[in-house]
Amino acid sequence: MLEPSRHFLLHAAINDASISQSIGLTEYSYYFVLKDFVPVLERMGEVHVVKDPGAEVDALYRDITDAGGKAVFLNFTAPHNLVPEIQCPTVHVFAWEFDTLPTDSWLADGLQDWRFALGAHARAITHSQYAKNAIEDAMGPDFPVAVVPCPVWDKFALQRERFAQRGPLKDVDLHFEGRVFDTRQIELFVDLDSHHLRRSREAAGEEIVPAEGGDISPGGLLKKLAHGLTPPLIWRFLERRLAWARSTPTEEKDNPTPQAPSQAEIDIYTDKKPNALKLEGVVYTSIFNPLDGRKNWRDMISAFVWAHKDNKDATLVLKTPNLDVHDFIDPLISFLKAFLPFDCRIVVLKAYLKDGQYESLLEGTSYYVNTSFGEGQCLPLMEYLSAGVPAIAPDSTALADYINPEMAFVVPSHAEPSTWQHDPRLSYRALRYRVDWLKLVEAFKRSYEVAHQDPSEWRRMGQAAMDRMSQHCSLAVAEAELAAFFATEDPAGAVIDERGSGSANAVSATDVQEG
**352-368 pLDDT, tens digit each:** 888 889 999 999 999 99
The region of weakest confidence among 27-31, 219-223, 489-493, 499-503 is 499-503
In a domain, 189, yes or no: no
* Extended beta strands in 236-356, E state: 272-279, 282-287, 314-320, 345-351
Highest mean pLDDT among 26-35, 252-261, 292-301: 292-301
For residue 274, is the peptide bond before it cis, meaning its omega torsion is within 30 degrees of 0?
yes
Both 63 and 212 in one domain: the answer is no
Work out whether the CA dihedral 262, 264, 265, 269 comes out positive or negative: positive
d(CA 242, CA 71): 73
In a domain, 105, yes or no: yes
The region of weakest confidence among 107-116, 333-342, 443-452 is 107-116
Which CATH number fits the domain that encloses residue 400? Answer: 3.40.50.2000
In a domain, 193, yes or no: no
Both 131 and 237 in one domain: the answer is no
Band of residue 80 on the pLDDT scale cut at 50, 70, 90? confident
pLDDT over 70 for what percent of the chain? 73
Q: Which neighbouring-strand residues pair with 48?
A: 9
**pTM of the entire predicted model:** 0.80
In a domain, 187, yes or no: no
Both 288 and 399 in one domain: the answer is yes
CA angle 157, 161, 165 (to 5 degrees): 145
The region of weakest confidence among 13-27, 287-301, 416-430 is 13-27
Both 370 and 444 in one domain: the answer is yes
Mean pLDDT of the 272-294 span: 88
In a domain, 194, yes or no: no
Q: Is the pLDDT assigned to residue 130 strictly greater than 90? A: yes
Q: What is the mean pLDDT of the chain?
A: 81
Q: Is the pLDDT assigned to residue 424 strictly greater than 70? A: yes
Q: Is the pLDDT assigned to residue 515 strictly greater than 80? A: no
Cα separation values, 334 from 193, 241, 337, 371, 428, Å: 9, 21, 5, 20, 29
DSSP of 212-247, one letter per residue? Answer: TT---SHHHHHHHHHTT--HHHHHHHHHHHHHHHHT
Q: Are 118 and 135 in contact (CB under 8 A)?
A: yes
d(CA 303, CA 314): 13
Neighbours of 356 (CB within 10 A): 9
Domain edge (last residue) among 261, 276, 308: 261
Single-letter code of the amino acid located at 260: A
In a domain, 133, yes or no: yes
Single-letter code of the amino acid located at 414: H
pLDDT of residue 110: 74
Both 48 and 173 in one domain: the answer is no
C-alpha closest to that of 512 among 108, 79, 94, 98: 108
Both 222 and 289 in one domain: the answer is no
In a domain, 191, yes or no: no
State pLDDT tens for residues 475-508.
999 999 999 999 875 444 433 333 333 333 444 3
Both 468 and 483 in one domain: the answer is no
In a domain, 188, yes or no: no
- Total structural domains within the chain: 3
The residues, ordered by sequence, that sit 6+ positions from 483 with a Cβ below 8 Å of its Cβ are 44
Radius of gyration of the chain (CA): 26
Mean pLDDT of the 10-19 span: 70
pLDDT of residue 34: 95
Band of residue 225 on the pLDDT scale cut at 50, 70, 90? very low
Q: Is the pLDDT assigned to residue 260 strictly greater than 70? A: no
State pLDDT tens for residues 154-177.
999 999 999 988 899 999 999 888
State pLDDT tens for residues 97-116.
999 999 988 887 777 899 98
Both 299 and 419 in one domain: the answer is yes
Both 355 and 395 in one domain: the answer is yes
pLDDT over 90 for what percent of the chain? 57
- Rounded (10°) angle between helices 192-203 and 326-337: 140
d(CA 165, CA 343): 30
Both 280 and 292 in one domain: the answer is yes
Band of residue 76 on the pLDDT scale cut at 50, 70, 90? very high
* Extended beta strands in 248-304, E state: 272-279, 282-287
d(CA 58, CA 218): 68
Q: Which neighbouring-strand residues pair with 146?
A: 125
Give the domain range for residue 257.
Answer: 199-261
Sheet arrangement for strand 314-320: 272-279, 172-182, 345-351, 314-320, 282-287, 367-369, 391-393, 408-410
Q: Is the pLDDT assigned to residue 25 strictly greater than 60? A: no
- For residue 17, the surrounding DSSP H or E stretch is none
The region of weakest confidence among 449-458, 468-477, 500-509 is 500-509
Both 169 and 269 in one domain: the answer is yes
Domain edge (last residue) among 244, 261, 278: 261
pLDDT of residue 111: 79
Both 322 and 397 in one domain: the answer is yes
C-alpha closest to that of 149 among 402, 408, 374: 402
Domain edge (last residue) among 261, 286, 315: 261
Mean pLDDT of the 368-378 span: 97
Give me the helices (H) in 6-84, please.
Answer: 19-22, 28-42, 53-66
